[in-house]
Amino acid sequence: MKKIAVIGTGLSALSLVHHLPALDITFFEKSWRPGGRITTRRHENYIFDHGAHYLKKDHGVIELNEFLKKINATKILKGDFCSNILNQSPIEEKEVIVGQKGIESIPLELHKRLRYPTKFSTQIKRLKSHNQEYYLETDNEEFGPFDFVFCCIPFEQAQNLLSDFIDYTNIPTPVFDVIWTIMIAFNKRLGSPFQFGYHLTPNISFLMNQNFKHEFFSDECWVINMRSEWSKEYYNIENYVLEDYVIDQIKKHFQSDAKAVYKKSHRWKYAYSKKSYKELSNQNYIESIDHRLYALGDWCQGPSMQDAWLAGKKLAKHFSELRLQI
């Protein structure tokens, strides 16, 4: 049986492997857990979905909804939503799909059911080839040989790994937005009339209350995204400066004297695929001439979780058809 290496365990990688027939597959993941940007940060009794926030119930990929329900990874919640807080848009009730135990439940449950061996905390730095087989190298170890390698990681990182084997000269580069995300716990309620919404201030593009997702908090927890243009301008801002600035903005808006009892920020360099590879090239993935190396990610199709799912599904279909010919 052909041996396959999958670098990365984000949703595009998990979708790819889910849609493939049973093969000899090994995952390699630089983090200690699967999921990529679909991540949940835990601190004492606090839970923050600080990567992806939720899935829209009507996002258009019915198969994904049905599968996540089947593996008990998600639940549907109703929340009060405001599309433009600055413009005082009306508050409406909105149904969203969230993780059973944080948004990370989605990749965790999917990875668990795939049952393939995974090398966690293993960052692949180089690839080398010998006799049409490929070897993966970290700073200290070598893995292989593999017949096929799927790099399901950010575009720039995949390019660095594959540039000796794939000519990137005429391959267009997807465009990404960087986003600063801040997690804050307040010692009492802010008095917000909504649980999530957009455009709180000119610099705060989105915020979501975590309490209605995870109902056991005694304090009030929020995840805040800064506007992408602001995040780019203040890319190198000190974390504590950013956190204090956001706390001040939140308290001013809600006219609150609540105290921040926890604060943490994270900068997502590849937060949002502003222009996908599909838009730029009309292609769904990047493939080597010998059909043995592939680059894949949500950046192939678009910025959302359903885009990552579709990216993996489309490559799995292509690869399954190709295997019948080689």
For 317, the token pair is 């279909």
Partners of 207 in the beta sheet? Answer: 197, 224
φ, ψ of residue 241 to 5 degrees: the values are -65, -45
Residue 111 CA: distances (Å) to CA of 33, 106, 141: 10, 9, 24
Distant-in-sequence, close-in-space partners of 260: CB < 8 Å, separation ≥ 6: 184, 185, 186, 187, 243, 247
Band of residue 9 on the pLDDT scale cut at 50, 70, 90? very high
For 45, the token pair is 């009794």
Can you give the residue ranges of every domain in the chain?
A: 3-323
* Poorest-pLDDT segment among 43-47, 110-114, 157-161, 257-261: 43-47
For residues 11 and 308, the answer to whether their CB atoms sit within 8 Å is yes
> Average per-residue pLDDT in the chain?
94
Q: For 234, how many CA atoms within 13 A lie in the half-sphere containing its CB?
A: 18
For residues 8 and 36, the answer to whether their CB atoms sit within 8 Å is yes
Residue 168: is its pLDDT beyond 80? yes
The pLDDT assigned to 236 comes to 97
CA separation for the pair 99, 146 (Å, rounded): 34
Residue 128 CA: distances (Å) to CA of 138, 153, 162, 171: 12, 18, 10, 22
* Poorest-pLDDT segment among 43-47, 119-123, 202-206, 282-286: 43-47
pLDDT tens, residue by residue, 89-138? 999 999 999 999 999 999 999 999 999 999 999 999 999 999 889 999 99
CATH fold of 3-323 reads FAD/NAD(P)-binding domain (3.50.50)
The pLDDT assigned to 1 comes to 80
The pLDDT assigned to 59 comes to 86
The pLDDT assigned to 313 comes to 96
pTM: predicted TM-score of the whole model, two decimal places: 0.94
Q: In what order do the strands lie in the sheet with 118-119?
A: 118-119, 24-28, 3-7, 148-152, 293-296, 286-287
The pLDDT assigned to 209 comes to 96
Q: Residue 148: what residue type?
A: F
Percent of the chain with pLDDT over 90: 87
Residue 312: is its pLDDT beyond 90? yes
Is the pLDDT higher at 271 or at 187? 187
For residues 223 and 211, the answer to whether their CB atoms sit within 8 Å is no
CA separation for the pair 142, 138 (Å, rounded): 6
CA separation for the pair 24, 75 (Å, rounded): 32
pLDDT tens, residue by residue, 206-260? 999 999 888 766 789 999 999 999 999 999 999 999 999 999 999 999 999 999 9
The pLDDT assigned to 272 comes to 83
The pLDDT assigned to 216 comes to 66
Residues 140-164 have a mean pLDDT of 96
- C-alpha closest to that of 267 among 158, 175, 155, 177: 177
- C-alpha closest to that of 161 among 185, 188, 132, 127: 127
Residue 18: is its pLDDT beyond 60? yes
φ, ψ of residue 249 to 5 degrees: the values are -65, -40
* Poorest-pLDDT segment among 37-41, 57-61, 204-208: 57-61
Is the pLDDT higher at 58 or at 182? 182
pLDDT tens, residue by residue, 65-83? 999 999 999 999 999 999 9
Mark residue 299 as left, alpha or beta (left: phi above 0; alpha: psi -120 to 50; beta: remaining): alpha
Query: What single DSSP character describes residue 202?
Result: S
